Amino acid sequence: YKWSQWFFRKFYDAGIAYREYAPVDFCPTCNTTLAREQVWGDDRHCERCGTPVIKKNLEQWKFRITSYADELIDMLNNIDWPERVKVMQTNWIGRSYGAEVTFRTEQGDALEIFTTRPDTLWGATFMVLAPEHPLVGSVTSDAQRAAVEAYQEQASRMDEIQRGAADKEKTGVFTGGYAINPVNDEQIPIWIADYVMMGYGTGAIMAVPAHDERDFAFATKYGLEIRRVITGPDGATGPLEAAYDSKDTGEMINSGPFDGTPVKGAVGKVTEWLEANELGRGAVNYRLRDWLISRQRMWGAPIPIVYCETCGVVPVPYEDLPVLLPDDAEFKPTGESPLKYHEGFRYVKCPTCGGDAERETDTMDTFMCSSWYQYAYISPYWKSGEPLKADDMPWEKEKGDYWLPVDQYTGGIEHATMHLLYTRFFTKALRDLGVVDFDEPMQRLFNQGMILGPDGEKMSKSRGNVINPDEVVDRYGADTVRGYLMFIGPWDQGGPWDPQAIEGVHRFLHRVWAVVTEDVQLEKPLLDAGSAVDAAQERALERKLHQTILKVTDDIENFRFNTAIAAMMEFNNTLYKARETGVVNTVIWNQAVRDLMLMMAPIFPHIADELWHR
């Protein structure tokens, strides 16, 4: 992992890596941070002890992936990736255009909001802050403090997916505080609600219940004002029974200088007015947050940073990499990395001044290594045992120029918004650092499906539906298992494991063996080359052979392995019938058998190799 640390150093030197406080999931009983996968259930409890999980702020290292947000969206058009992955990444990054507007609290503090609908500002009748918003404490009245703090505690036990679920009932608490709407100087109440999150926008929203479905439901539940500021398509101006959120039809009403303005095109006009009156400005917002890479775990590449009382944050010199993990760390439920309690690892001398210092004891997210691992294959032992330098290359340049970027990559759809997004960011950052001269890590991507249990559910030990591949290989052989996995259905869909269907693949291999080794009962012998044979039958066999070669080649190149195997099965049946009932020319027969072995080799390598040499 020395190269992962080398990349971190390059990112640190370029300002891509930085440190700030960030919330993590924490179990107060086990006294440790938890990965997302270790938080179970709707009540978000620790998988180990069942204790409700809380959020805890820790100082963490991050990468500025948000600096590449526009490129990560726009350059999707340049790569041959599944449309579903492109949509998932686009939505995950969440680019939206609108305006930033500053509201003011009663105490005079600025409350920045981002809205895609500045044309509805006059319809804002309350504000909602994320429970974690830093101004919640100052805007909360004494009378409401207990209720607000109880709600904050409740919200801390949910993750963002749960809080943002469309079907979740919207809840909230009034803070007792108020803000001033800058476009009409009206005082509006400030609430907190868990559907607003610090991880998106500014952590504060203006609520326009007449023209936003979520705000409408919230206002209706809590008896808040619903003020219409856009007419219906028929000019209706009366009370609404549901939110009217059209951006294309209707006119602005109850909107001061913009009364009568067609809503279509109004966003731009209102934004210009906000800028002219210094009330706001046009802005682009992203759902994407910077990549938090710190992990309070033993496994993972150590972050090559030293903290010195004199020098501050000091990166480990390139020539001192790698920083190695110790072999004798103790694992205790302290809530911090075991490395923090390993004195030999933690306490070092500052590489700058030589004074006493401490190492960073967090390790890097394992996605750090998988963001560039494909590049390491071209020269895995490059610079092995040599001191590193800032101007080194992490692989042999000549090989990199020849092989990179990757032409074809195969991976699961579950990686769409993590590994596949991180590796794209990583490549763009390396491009800016002069390490690579291309924009995208993989030109073409194929998503394979998932093999499910016999019950059609995802395999899981808890469900008892896991298939042990070793047992299946012991019974049928590796070639049968390989073939069945590819024959189970379209490669991008997968499907349930069928114990009966694997028997069919096993029988197919037996039939191939029988045909090639002449175990079938022949009614007529093979004829030598030059013998008089039925020309039509000979041409039919050759035609079928060439058709099969064409189909198998095309199917394998396009990941249609199931239909490629079906074509091989069909051709083997043709050979079987030709041997059993017809007169076959030896030359044509041998050519057909050899070509069948070549077609089978990528999927059934062992039997193909054995029969080839026979």
- Report, as an integer, the average pLDDT of 485-500: 90
**Two tokens at 226?**
């619903």
Classify each residue of 329-362 as buried b or exposed e, where b means 16 or more C-beta atoms within 10 Å of its C-beta. beeeeebbbbbbebeebbebebbeeeeebbbbbb
- Report, as an integer, the average pLDDT of 93-115: 95
Q: Between the CA atoms of 144, 148, 150 and 156, what dihedral angle is there, to the nearest 10 degrees?
A: 180
Tell me whether residue 180 is exposed, middle or buried, using C-beta atoms within 10 angstroms of its C-beta: 0 to 12, 13 to 18, 19 or more: middle
pLDDT of 468-481, one tens digit each?
A: 999 999 999 999 99
Is 30 a residue whose pLDDT tops 80?
no
Residue 172 has a CB neighbour count (10 Å cut-off) of 22
- Looking at 45-54, 392-401, 601-610, which range is the least confident one? 45-54
Classify each residue of 185-202 as buried b or exposed e, where b means 16 or more C-beta atoms within 10 Å of its C-beta. eeebbbbbbbbbbbebbb
The answer to whether 207 and 219 have CB atoms below 8 angstroms apart is yes
- Give strand pairing partners of 295: 363
Domains of the chain, earliest start first: 96-285 (3.90.740.10), 470-612 (1.10.730.10)
pLDDT band at 522 (very low <50, low <70, confident <90, very high): very low
Q: Among all chains, which residue has been given the structure tokens 């918003």?
A: 133
pLDDT band at 56 (very low <50, low <70, confident <90, very high): confident
Task: Give the pLDDT of residue 31.
Answer: 72
State the angle between helix axes of 586-600 and 561-581 in degrees (0 to 180), rounded to the nearest 10. Answer: 160
- Report, as an integer, the average pLDDT of 321-330: 90
The answer to whether 360 and 306 have CB atoms below 8 angstroms apart is yes
Cis ω for the linkage preceding 322 (within 30 of 0): yes
DSSP result, 386-443: SPP-TT--SS-HHHHHHHPSEEEEE--GGGTTTHHHHHHHHHHHHHHTTS-S-S-SEE
Is 271 a residue whose pLDDT tops 80?
yes
Classify each residue of 536-568 as buried b or exposed e, where b means 16 or more C-beta atoms within 10 Å of its C-beta. eebeebeebbeebbebbeebbeebbbbbbbbbb
Is 533 a residue whose pLDDT tops 70?
no
DSSP result, 29-96: TTTEE--GGGEETTTTEETTT-PBPEEEEEEEEEE-GGGGHHHHHHGGGGSB--HHHHHHHHHHHT-E
- Looking at 130-144, 209-223, 263-277, 513-527, which range is the least confident one? 513-527
- Report, as an integer, the average pLDDT of 444-466: 88
Average pLDDT along the chain? 90
SS3 22: strand
Q: How far is CA 58 from CA 289, 294, 296, 347, 433, in A?
A: 16, 10, 10, 21, 29
Is 161 a residue whose pLDDT tops 90?
no
d(CA 121, CA 112): 13
- Kindly report the pTM of this predicted structure: 0.83
- Report, as an integer, the average pLDDT of 405-432: 94
Task: Give the pLDDT of residue 35.
Answer: 62
Residue 129 has a CB neighbour count (10 Å cut-off) of 28
- Looking at 262-266, 297-301, 303-307, which range is the least confident one? 297-301
pLDDT of 336-391, one tens digit each?
A: 778 988 999 999 999 999 999 999 999 999 899 999 999 999 988 888 888 889 99
